Chains A and B, each alone.
Chain A
Amino acid sequence: MFQTVASPETGALVSTFRDEYIQACRWMLLARTLDEKFASLYRAGKIHGGVFLGRGQEALSVSIGVTLRKGDVFAPLIRDLAGRLAFGEPVLDAVRTFLGSALGPMRGRDGNVHRGRPREGVLPMISHLGAMISVVNGMLFARRFKGVRDTAGVASIGDGATSTGSFHEAINQAAVEKLPLVLIVANNQYAYSTPASRQFACRNLVDKAIGYGIEGHTSDGTDLAACLKVVREAVNRARNGCGPQMVVARLLRLCGHGEHDDSSYVDPKLKQSPIGRDCLKVAEEQLLQQRWADASAIEAWRSEAARIVEEAVATVQREPAPDPYQEDWGALSSGHLLEAQHPPPL
């Protein structure tokens, strides 16, 4: 595939693809740098709640972010920092939410991977896996209802979520409604500690697409070029009226479930196998091989990423934390329907 676009007849495509590839690599680098900073802040006890990293999944994730357009819908998974950044989420949104700044999009009410801006197309996940898919359906349904065309939505899930009822119910719903939904499944071999062999018994997860009457695609999740191509194809087909698409990418989670987890259960054979490759290293090697960048350029991007991350963290560390005395402690937008607290606070 990589060789195909590099053929002389498609010169314009080469430059477009090269630019996209380079851009994607830079987002991956930024995401990896930011993730590592979060891990370090977590170890230093500076982060409340869990820290879940995208290490090893950046190629797949970033492909979503660079492929979707502004105005599309994205329901990220816990390992989608690369995709979020590429889709347009400000670094400050991420840092503010992890560090509990009152100025973040969740204002300290929810944390870390649960951040989002629904009106800007980034859904704030709840913890129940598979539950965001039908919400993406609803947004796409509403757009069609309002006569908005040329839109698409991605719901990102892992192999674990494919076992849930919500997954099944929402894909079937999207298929019946023929919505422009793209379901990206990162088959990273483990749901927390549960291996794929204890999660599903089908030959390949993508076979599930047949049962729902939707189109399925597979990708090597460690290969950025493959991910970019497959995700773009799927998103384009959804956008152009071909109905829901399912992409299953094989890869290995190169970290614990969260930073509290040493992942000692991961089979060493998987780490040595092709899916155990670090997608970021693979992408950098490709850049060098194709002569799309040299080592000093990559080093400069790395420094730039580190600078962005350090600046954001330094900024947010000076910001106020949420103040319980300033909270309105009301969960309704209709203020007149809020109950007085019983008994009244002392």
Chain B
Amino acid sequence: MSITYLEAIREAQARALAEDPRVFIYGQDVGAFGGAFKATKNLAKEFPGRVLDSTLSEDSMVGLAVGAAIEGLRPIVETQFADFSSVAFNQIINQAATLYWRTEVPCPITIRLPAGGTSGGGPFHSQNMEAIYAHYPGLVVMTPATVEDAYSMLLEAVAIDDPVIFCEHKYLYYHLKADKLPSEAMPVGKARLAREGRDLTIVAYSAMVHEALAVAEELATEGTELEVVDLRSVKPLDTDTIMASVARTGRLLCVGEAWPWGGVTAEVIARVASEGFGLLDAPPQRLNAKDTPVPYHPNLWAAHRPTARSIAAAARNLLRR
């Protein structure tokens, strides 16, 4: 038996619904249809009245979730595509993210953002929004890279008393498989050492972890050992694990599928440069998508985002410095 990243997300929601009567799912087409990606397949039937189609309105979807959270429920909102969360931006960053700080009333909502590029997705079905949301105080931003994390982190997202932006990568939905669901998990807030190595640290998250691991495999045949850190959550960002890795390798390459200006890779490098400058044997480097909207055609799309090939080139350059 094997289980995909997407199935793990469905199973986590089924378990959350089964174990906690306060949980409900709200979003466009999530009901009888089972969601645009089938992440809620059959859940409406299994949990009558708790998996509900919303109107086509991200703003009111999140607004309703905040109100329900005030009343003690634990909503899961699916935005269908991360790109569409822009329409709910106000409710997320001004309403949900400020509620606890302003009133001491927690806001336990989980907002699922099917994120990241797939070939053919184009400018409005491919975006990575983690940096935008991580910028705002009052939000937790998760970016699971594995089937196990997709499952355990989504369960933890629902259990956390704060608003969680759950960035699930659409490219991993079907590509990534595991033998079984995990029975235990690392807590949110801890990064994972996805591969140990002594020569260079690649910090990555979400789909880029797999590109980085492929590069590590390739460079290992050349006698170079790369260490790969999977951030798991970008907020909180586990600076300690990053710093410990850089202390071992002396070289840092940070990779993100999002755009280059600001963002997660910039944050990682800023922290390492300001707090761990002495650990570095070479200037820290980063690799992001190109600074244009995400292109539609597969040829352009594949060149727009970092890939194993471009990461390998960046790693080789850094190793020579």
Binding site for B on A (CB under 8 A): 105-106, 109-110, 114, 116-119, 123-124, 126-128, 131-143, 145-146, 165-166, 169-170, 172-173, 176, 330-334, 336-340, 342-343
Contact = CB atoms under 8 A, between A and B. Distances in A.
A333 B55 CA distance: 30
Given A145-B68, A146-B71, 11 more contacts: A131-B63, A134-B60, A138-B69, A146-B72, A169-B57, A333-B104, A334-B161, A339-B237, A340-B239, A342-B274, A343-B274
A137 B55 CA distance: 13
Interface string B56-95: 0101111111111111110000000000000000110011
Contacts of B71: 138-139, 142-143, 146
22 contacts: A106-B102, A118-B70, A126-B98, A127-B94, A131-B95, A134-B62, A134-B64, A135-B63, A135-B95, A138-B63, A138-B65, A142-B70, A165-B59, A166-B90, A170-B59, A170-B63, A173-B57, A176-B55, A331-B97, A332-B138, A333-B162, A337-B140
Q: Which of A106, A169, A338, A339: most chain B CB closer than 10 A?
A: A169
A145 B101 contact: no
A94 to B, nearest CB: 16
B24 interface: yes
B3 interface: no
Interface residues of B, number: 51
Q: Is the interface of B mostly helix, strand, loop or mixed?
A: helix
Given A110-B102, A343-B274, A136 B59 contact: no
B103 A117 contact: yes
Contact of A337 (B63, B91, B188): B188
Given A124-B102, A169-B59, A142 B72 contact: yes
B122 interface: no
A333 B106 contact: yes
Contacts of B61: 134
A333 B63 contact: no
B318 interface: no
Given A131-B63, A173-B57, A337 B162 contact: yes
The 10 closest A-B pairs by CB, nearest first: A138-B67, A134-B63, A142-B71, A331-B137, A138-B64, A331-B138, A169-B57, A134-B60, A142-B68, A139-B67
B101 A137 contact: no
B68 A138 contact: yes
Q: Which of A105, A139, A140: most chain B CB closer than 10 A?
A: A139
B138 A137 contact: no
A333 B108 CA distance: 10
Given A331-B97, A337-B160, A337-B236, A173 B54 contact: yes
Nearest to B274: A343
Contacts, number: 146
A169 B60 contact: yes
Given A134-B59, A142-B73, A342-B274, A336 B67 contact: no
Contacts of A165: 59
Contacts of B95: 126, 131, 135
B120 interface: no
Given A134-B59, A170-B60, A141 B67 contact: yes
Contact of A136 (B55, B67, B90, B101): B67
A166 B237 contact: no
Nearest to B267: A342
A170 B61 CA distance: 9
Nearest to A179: B64
A174 to B, nearest CB: 9
B189 interface: yes
Contact of B73 (A116, A133, A145, A333): A145
